[in-house]
Structure 1
Amino acid sequence: MELFADSNGRPRRQLGIRTVLALALTTMVAGAATLLLAWAWRNSPDGLQIDRWAAALVGQGWSAPFAHFMQAVTHLGDPATLAGIGAAVAVFLLWRREPVFLLGWLGALAGNAWLNLTLKDIFMRLRPSNDIGVSTALGYSFPSGHSSGAMVIYGMLAYLVWCVAARRWAVAMPVLALITILAVGASRVYLQAHFISDVLAGYASGAAWLALVVAAVEIWRATQKSLSP
């Protein structure tokens, strides 16, 4: 990690080459994990053991008040919520004249949305039967769009904050992002909107795309820095 000031004197953090290479490796590993999960459930007529285990656990601990709480949590991963955050951050980056971060931000969100819809159409997995009636979900199940969307948008937001914010926020934001990502995924399983393998695949596909975008942004930033007088 490198700490420096830009041309306007604003503090900046930048990842090192080893971290960028690690991000590229993360893209390959997470992408492979997504495909492995797809292969596993397609070759398990009775469903994955982890899906049955998670469903049984939810059934044993289910309660109406907590289900309504989880319904509120799941809205943090709703397309409308993510689109609102995406637009607000894009406007802020445009106002701050941060073209590299802006293009990275838009690429992360738009690319993940396209990737998730494409994977859903390829695998066409049906959603689990919902017998609690608290929340309904449409479309195919694999991978979870809420989970991948939360991974990308909150993960990318944590990265941007880490790059430009004061140290206390650079440390706190990744922690808050991780808690939010895990909470959204857990809510999808608890509300019977997804199998847990859908959520894991959403995390994996989202992490693959997020790592790829961050690596690209860091390479672009390094190139710009080397060309600056």
Structure 2
Amino acid sequence: MNRFTARLLALAGLLTVEVVLAMVLFVAAFGVFFYLARVVFVHHSLALDTWASGVVDGWRAAEPGLTGPVRFVTFFAALPFLLPASVAGVLLLRRASHPRESWELLVAMGGGILLNQLLKFYFNRPRPSNALLQTLGLSFPSGHAMLGVTFYGCLAWLLARHLGHARWAVPLLLWAGLIGITRVYLHAHYATDVLAGFAGGAAWLVLCRAGIKLFWKEERAMLESAGNEPV
């Protein structure tokens, strides 16, 4: 019991303001996801989806030429782009002598893809029947939105850490948000799918970051207590 208590106290000592803030953000993102799931699957409300579809249909009617650029933008959160981009990012980080950061990107993207597929199969929501491009798989939550937030959010964090400029986060996250809007525009997803994807991606990314941070800090503490220099 004393050893277990000491272990808990050691873990509590690893908590920082950043980790606590991450926990708050995780709870908030999870709360949004849970709320959207209730709206769709418990209350069966289509009000938000119908309104959003009307808005993007109005954009397309006013500017028919938007469809081409929208199809181009949406590609940058598709798996044919994200998979090679993630592998390239991992390899570049390792080559630049950042093994910890390469693991962060690998875990974030690998876990995000798996989690998104599990959620899709669990909720089992069909896609809209009037999509403007060929779409496969299930709809809730949007993989483009969820994995876009995961990939570009993780990239923003890594760039901000090493370049010292937090402003990297703004354009990258706005880009991820724009990609989510393209999914509604193309009727590849309902608006609630996209919003749930944003929330799910944010929750996963925050949980992943907090978990990795705790793991590395605990490993460092264990090495120091053993009289070894941390790597």
| TM-score, normalisation: structure 2 | 0.84
User: What is the CA distance between 1:101 and its match in structure 2?
Assistant: 1.5
2:171 corresponds in structure 1 to: 176
Give the distance between the partners of 2:65 and 2:100, measured in 1 at CA: 44
Pairs within 5 Å for 1:70-89: 70-89=70-89
Match in the other structure for 2:20: 21
Q: Contact 1:100 / 1:217 at 8 angstroms: preserved in 2?
A: no
Query: Counterparts of 1:37-186 in structure 2 under 5 Å?
Result: 37-45=36-44, 47-62=45-60, 63-130=63-130, 133=132, 135-165=133-163, 167=164, 170-186=165-181
1:218 maps to amino acid: K
Residue 223 of structure 1 deviates from its aligned partner by 4.0
Return the alpha-carbon distance in structure 2 between the equivalents of residues 224 and 187 of structure 1: 42
Larger Rg: 2
Which of 188, 193, 197 in structure 1 is aligned with 2:183?
188
Matches within 5 A, 1:3-18: 17-18=16-17
Alignment root-mean-square deviation, CA: 1.8
SS at match of 2:202: helix
- Indicate conservation of the 8 Å contact 1:137/1:193, yes or no: yes
Distance 1:224 1:156 in 2: 22
Tell me if structure 2 keeps the 8 A contact 1:100–1:220: no
Corresponding letter in the other structure for 1:27: F
Counterpart contact for 2:77–2:179, Cα < 8 Å = yes
Deviation at 1:42, TM superposition (A): 1.4
Deviations 1:127-175 (A, max 9, x none): 11216x3x2211110000000010000000111111111x3xx234212
The amino acid that maps onto 2:213 is E
Report how far residue 224 of structure 1 moved.
5.5
**Whole-angstrom CA distance in 1 between matches of 2:43 and 2:211:** 37
Q: Structure 1 length normalisation: TM-score?
A: 0.84
- Per-residue deviation, residues 198-223 of structure 1 (Å, max 9, x unmatched): 00000111111100111123224434
Question: Which residue matches 1:7?
Answer: none
Give me the identity figure in percent.
Answer: 31
Give the partner amino acid of 1:40: V
Structure 1 unmatched ranges of 5 or more? 1-15
Higher helix proportion, which one? 2
- Equivalenced residue count is 208
Q: Which range moved further: 68-77 or 94-103?
A: 94-103
Q: In the alignment, is the contact (CA less than 8 A) between 2:160 and 2:167 conserved in 1?
A: no
Q: Which secondary structure does the structure 2 equivalent of 1:142 belong to? A: coil
Structure 1 consecutive aligned stretches of length 4 or more whose deviation exceeds 3 Å: 220-229
Note the residue ranges of structure 2 that are not aligned, 5 or more in a row.
Answer: 1-14
Aligned equivalents of 2:176, 2:71: Cα separation in 1: 15
Q: CA deviation at 1:76?
A: 0.9
Query: Does the residue aligned with 1:125 lie in a helix, a strand or coil?
Result: coil
Q: CA deviation at 1:78?
A: 0.6
Measured in 2, the distance between the counterparts of 1:24 and 1:208 equals: 9
